[in-house]
Structure 1
Amino acid sequence: MKRIRIIAILLAGIFGASSVNAQEVLTLQHAIRYALENKAEAKKSALDLENAQYQIDEIRGAALPQINGVASIKSNVIIPEMVFEMGGNVIRAKMGQPWNSNAVVSLNQQIFNQAVFTGLKAARTTREFYQVNAQLTEEQLIEKVATAYYDVFQTQLQLETIQTNLNSTTKNKNVVNGLVGAGLAKKIDLDRLVVAINNLESQKQQVYNALQLKENALKFAIGMPIENPVVMPKETFAVDPSIVLQEESLDNRTEVLLMQKQIELYEFDKKSKVAGLYPTLSLGADFGWNGFGKGFPIGGDFAWPKSSAIGLNLSIPIFTGGATKARINQADIQIRQARVTLEDTKLGLSLANENAKAQIKNSLLTINTNRSNVGLAKEVLSDTENNYKNGLATLTELLDAEKALADAQNNLNTSLLNFKVAEVQLIKAKGQLKTLVNEK
């Protein structure tokens, strides 16, 4: 039975290795690029940007000549009559023909319309607004992917730590098993090691399950099919302490740029409301036929006299009951509210930036401490193992030393994750999140 189990483990290792070799390693850069190409947010942002151009075209279309054609045909079942008196006689006369038809082509061109002109000026700002909004969507997606990616990697490191501890405990169990067989050790020590191994196996399974959930969350974050396997590279947690010394400007933050463009659009909206106080002037022209006859227009007794006209249309607002002024005041309130929101956003970004710097500084100190603890814990475990083999240390001391090493390694991994998350926030503060896409 034991031999069959060993063969099964070897086969699983062989096939598992083959599967890993066939899989592409998912680096952070690859994950971000995949998300920018496949995630729904990125696709919707690209469609919003495309739709923005159509909205701009619609605004521009209002300033171009408007040409319309209208045609109609009507059969007068009862021709209306008019009664009038002439020379003392009352005369009744039919006014019209059994069939009437008309066809007119009309043209209207805005000559002066302040609202249309304001819309044309706002068109460029509208395009810039959607471009900045698309950039913000990409940055938010990059931040989300980076955070999920590092979370997966930290859990994977935790799993590796448990496996290392499990290997060490299993090795000690094998040694104690031999000593028990030779009568040089107590069976209770062997039993305690078996219990420790079982606990580590259970802990390993729990962390492995958590890893699968986090991998699925990462796949969802980048728009990857859940069934696709994920293989993480080694040495992902590179630490660069110099990032704290680099300067950043809140004016470069996409959130600030987007709100500034929004305020510009609100200002144009106010100007369009003010345009309601201005007169409008447009050119109108039409050309057509107004036909009538006793028979159907085609093939019947029908006449087609032509008609044409050209003129100017002037509209002067005199009194609107204060509605225009109220709309202007509402637009002004919207601008002032946006400016207050902008200042509050800057304050929040500044707070997040300072918190990220503090987190990085604390993480650097913690990383150095935890690295030192890992080194000391390894030395303590090595000395305790030797002492235990020579009868100078108890099993409890050995198990405690193994747990201390695992805790030190997990603490180091957590501090590395905290550093990378804070690093992403600092890169975001500089408006340089897209640099994470490039290979380093």
Structure 2
Amino acid sequence: MKYRISILLAFLGFFAQAQEQLTLKDAVNYALQNKAEAVKARLEVQNSEYQIDEVRASALPQITATAGLTYNAIIQQMALVMGDQVQVIQMGTPWQSSAMVSLNQQIFNQAVFTGLKAAKTTREFYKINAELTEEQVIEKVANSYFEAYKTESQLTTVDKTIENTSRVRDVIKSLFDNGLAKKIDLDRIDVTLNNLKGNRQQLINALQLQENALKYLIGMDMNQDIELPDNTFEVSKHALVDESVNIENRTEIKLLEKQGELLALNKKAINAESYPSLSMTANFGYVGFGNDFPWFAKSPGAAWSGASAIGLNLSIPIFNGGSVKAKVKQAQTKIDLLEADKRDTRLALDMSLKNAITQINNSLITLNVQKENVNLAKEVLTNIENNYKFGLATLTDLLDAETQYADAQNNHTNALLDYKVAEIALIKAKGELKSLTQE
């Protein structure tokens, strides 16, 4: 019994989830948590922490323990002349063993220190890149979301048109049954109604494809049902624009600036190859040798001796054939190329801001015109319906009015989509796409 109740509760929970509306905010936040691009960008930031640890480790003491065991099957001999006699001396013993602990510490190495700065800057670069990736995901999701809602709105318009046309068809059928209408009028209205039903099925198919595309963009299971709220196409206040928006706050600019820092550090690291480096080494251990196996052997079969050394290593580059100079020039060329990219990006962002402002203002004008046109088309349709009932208008006039009213509604829906797309472009141009996660 408990098992059946658990299954029922789980089913009810899934059903409630399936019926939950998917707002733009929900879609964007879902994408930022589940879409592969956003997930990989966060992993890149996490990986940059490991890169810092790796570079930092090269500046810390490097301690190594080594051990070795050697059996000299044939021992080399050396001849020594002592007076008038030649004596042959055996060089070494059959068994040799060693156990050492070595330490190496960088005291001055400009390449290592520069690498540590570069690693920290790389972490900041990946953080900004993650922000840019999230903004790109938000823009794609928002545009796909509005495309799906546009089709859903068109489907609603077709449903209303079918409902209205069916009502007119019933009137014509009643008039035909009473001998007050022609058979051709009934056939024409039936053809119109069938065409509308065919258009409705096409819109259903298109909506399914667009919803699947939206699910893919946000990383949602394809089997999950989604429903878009009715207020998706509400006109917001984003049209009120301050044209003094500073494009330097755009993520694209910040990313290029951070990339410039990395290139400057790369040039500095190459220059560091010409600097002297100083390190300290130290080792301590034991060396064993003898005729017997040295481990655990007692004298005189084997003997052990302690060994230790401490030293400084100074490396001064003198001549490298000009390779460092050539690499420095290459690094500077990359910096110059980036500066060209910065100038072009600033120009493009400034253009996108101006275009977004122009586009949204034009979209608002078109939207108001289409809204007024819908009201006029509806009024015309109502008048012609009344005239048709009293024989003062033809069926052609009625069908034309129906078509014009449906076209006006679809044009209004298209104008709403154009406005919302322009709104997204404006929000992006202002560098405020993240605001869509909070609306």
> 1:254 Cα shift?
0.5
Work out the number of aligned pairs and report it. Answer: 422
> 1:287 Cα shift?
0.9
Task: Tell me whether 142-151 or 85-94 shows the greater mean CA deviation.
Answer: 85-94
Say whether 1:246 aligns with 2:242: yes
Q: Distance in 2 between matches of 1:267 and 1:353?
A: 30
- For residue 332 of structure 2, give the secondary structure of its aligned residue in structure 1: helix
Aligned 8 A contact 2:267 2:332 in 1:
yes
> 1:123 Cα shift?
3.2
- For residue 59 of structure 2, give the secondary structure of its aligned residue in structure 1: coil
Say whether 1:99 aligns with 2:95: yes
Q: Distance in 2 between matches of 1:222 and 1:110?
A: 49
Q: Alignment partner for residue 270 of structure 2, among 249, 269, 273?
A: 273
Task: Tell me whether 427-436 or 209-218 shows the greater mean CA deviation.
Answer: 427-436
* Residues 20/283 of structure 1: CA separation in 2 closer, same or farther (3 Å cut): closer
Q: Distance in 2 between matches of 1:118 and 1:20?
A: 56
> 1:20 Cα shift?
8.3
Deviations, residues 86-131 of structure 1 (Å, cap 9, x unaligned): 1222221111111111121111111111111112222332221111
- For residue 62 of structure 1, give the secondary structure of its aligned residue in structure 2: helix
> 1:244 Cα shift?
4.0
- For residue 235 of structure 1, give the secondary structure of its aligned residue in structure 2: coil
> 1:159 Cα shift?
0.6
Q: Distance in 1 between matches of 2:258 and 2:193?
A: 61
RMSD over aligned Cα atoms: 1.5
Aligned 8 A contact 2:96 2:289 in 1:
yes
Task: Tell me whether 126-135 or 212-221 shows the greater mean CA deviation.
Answer: 126-135
> 1:173 Cα shift?
0.6
> 1:298 Cα shift?
2.0
Deviations, residues 263-301 of structure 1 (Å, cap 9, x unaligned): 100000000001111110111111111211112222333
Say whether 1:181 aligns with 2:177: yes
> 1:242 Cα shift?
5.0
- For residue 91 of structure 1, give the secondary structure of its aligned residue in structure 2: strand
Write out aligned runs for 1:276-287 (5 A).
276-287=273-284
Amino acid aligned to 1:202: G
Aligned 8 A contact 2:69 2:97 in 1:
yes
> 1:438 Cα shift?
0.8
Aligned 8 A contact 1:63 1:109 in 2:
yes
Aligned to 2:410: 410
Write out aligned runs for 1:96-135 (5 A).
96-135=92-131
Deviations, residues 13-69 of structure 1 (Å, cap 9, x unaligned): xxxxx9789611100011111111111112111111110000011111111111111
Aligned to 1:390: 390
Q: Alignment partner for residue 260 of structure 1, among 253, 257, 261?
A: 257
Aligned to 2:363: 363
Task: State the TM-score, normalizing by the size of structure 1.
Answer: 0.93
Q: Alignment partner for residue 134 of structure 2, among 138, 142, 149?
A: 138
Aligned 8 A contact 2:353 2:430 in 1:
no
Deviations, residues 228-272 of structure 1 (Å, cap 9, x unaligned): 101110121121355342342111111110111001000000000
Aligned to 1:29: 25
Aligned to 1:321: 321
Amino acid aligned to 1:98: P
Aligned 8 A contact 2:241 2:357 in 1:
no
Aligned to 1:350: 350
Aligned 8 A contact 1:20 1:231 in 2:
no
* Residues 21/49 of structure 1: CA separation in 2 closer, same or farther (3 Å cut): closer
Task: Tell me whether 285-294 or 189-198 shows the greater mean CA deviation.
Answer: 285-294
Aligned to 2:11: none
* Residues 197/385 of structure 1: CA separation in 2 closer, same or farther (3 Å cut): same
- For residue 99 of structure 2, give the secondary structure of its aligned residue in structure 1: strand
* Residues 371/20 of structure 1: CA separation in 2 closer, same or farther (3 Å cut): farther
- For residue 418 of structure 1, give the secondary structure of its aligned residue in structure 2: helix
Aligned 8 A contact 2:101 2:283 in 1:
yes
Q: Distance in 2 between matches of 1:98 and 1:199?
A: 102
Amino acid aligned to 2:407: D
Q: Distance in 2 between matches of 1:95 and 1:124?
A: 54
Task: State the TM-score, normalizing by the size of structure 2.
Answer: 0.94
Aligned to 1:147: 143
Aligned to 1:435: 435
Aligned 8 A contact 2:18 2:224 in 1:
no
Aligned to 1:294: 291
* Residues 153/307 of structure 1: CA separation in 2 closer, same or farther (3 Å cut): same
Say whether 1:424 aligns with 2:424: yes
Q: Distance in 2 between matches of 1:351 and 1:147?
A: 20
For structure 1, list consecutive stretches of 5 or more residues without a partner in the other structure: 1-17
Q: Distance in 2 between matches of 1:78 and 1:19?
A: 84
Amino acid aligned to 2:88: R
- For residue 78 of structure 1, give the secondary structure of its aligned residue in structure 2: coil
Q: Distance in 2 between matches of 1:55 and 1:225?
A: 34
> 1:151 Cα shift?
0.7
Task: Tell me whether 20-29 or 58-67 shows the greater mean CA deviation.
Answer: 20-29
Aligned to 1:236: 232
Q: What is the percentage of aligned positions where both structures have the same residue? A: 54
Aligned 8 A contact 2:67 2:97 in 1:
yes
Aligned 8 A contact 2:277 2:315 in 1:
yes
Q: Distance in 2 between matches of 1:59 and 1:19?
A: 52
- For residue 317 of structure 1, give the secondary structure of its aligned residue in structure 2: coil
Q: Which runs of 4+ in 1 moved over 4 A?
A: 18-22
* Residues 221/297 of structure 1: CA separation in 2 closer, same or farther (3 Å cut): same
